[in-house]
Each structure stands twice: as structure tokens, then as C-alpha cells.
Amino acid sequence: MSNPALDEAERARLVGELMAARRAVGASQRNGDAEALAQARAQVDRAKRALGERGPVWWDDGAPDYNRRMVANTPYADWFAALR
């Protein structure tokens, strides 16, 4: 989810950058261009960070951040195990 504090024009601009970067990823994969692929993936990362989808959290609700954690090491471990 994008940071809701971004104004609509800025969010739209950044989404445009993200989509262009994703298209560049696809094109570089089809062309087999490893250098262009690395650059395109870096552009995707920059856009996602600017949108608040990666990097430091933009919310402050006091809840712990379990992002990028193995589910077995979170309070959701029992729930996840029951899915199997």
C-alpha cells in the first residue's frame, strides 16, 4: 500500500514511474540484457520506496512490524501452521 500522506499528484507521478520501470524490467528480460535488467529493477525499488511500499514504515500505530519475518517467528505461527 502506498503512503496515504502522499498528495494525489505526487502519488500518480510515482505510480507512473513504477509502471515504466516494470515495463523496462520486462523488456530487458525479453532482450536478455542483464545490465538493463539491473538498472530497471533499481528503478522499481526507488519508485516503491518513494511510494512507501518498501523501506521504513510510514505508519505509526504502535503495532510491531512483522514484515520480512518468517511467519514461524511471529504471533501468526499457529494460524499459519493450521493452514497446512
pLDDT of 34-68, one tens digit each? 999 999 999 999 999 999 999 887 878 888 888 88
Q: What is the full DSSP assignment across the chain?
A: ---TTS-HHHHHHHHHHHHHHHHHHHHHHHHT-HHHHHHHHHHHHHHHHHHTSSSS----SS----TTS-GGGSTTHHHHHHH-
Domain ranges (residues) in the chain: 1-57
> What is the reported pLDDT for 58?
81
pTM given for the model: 0.72
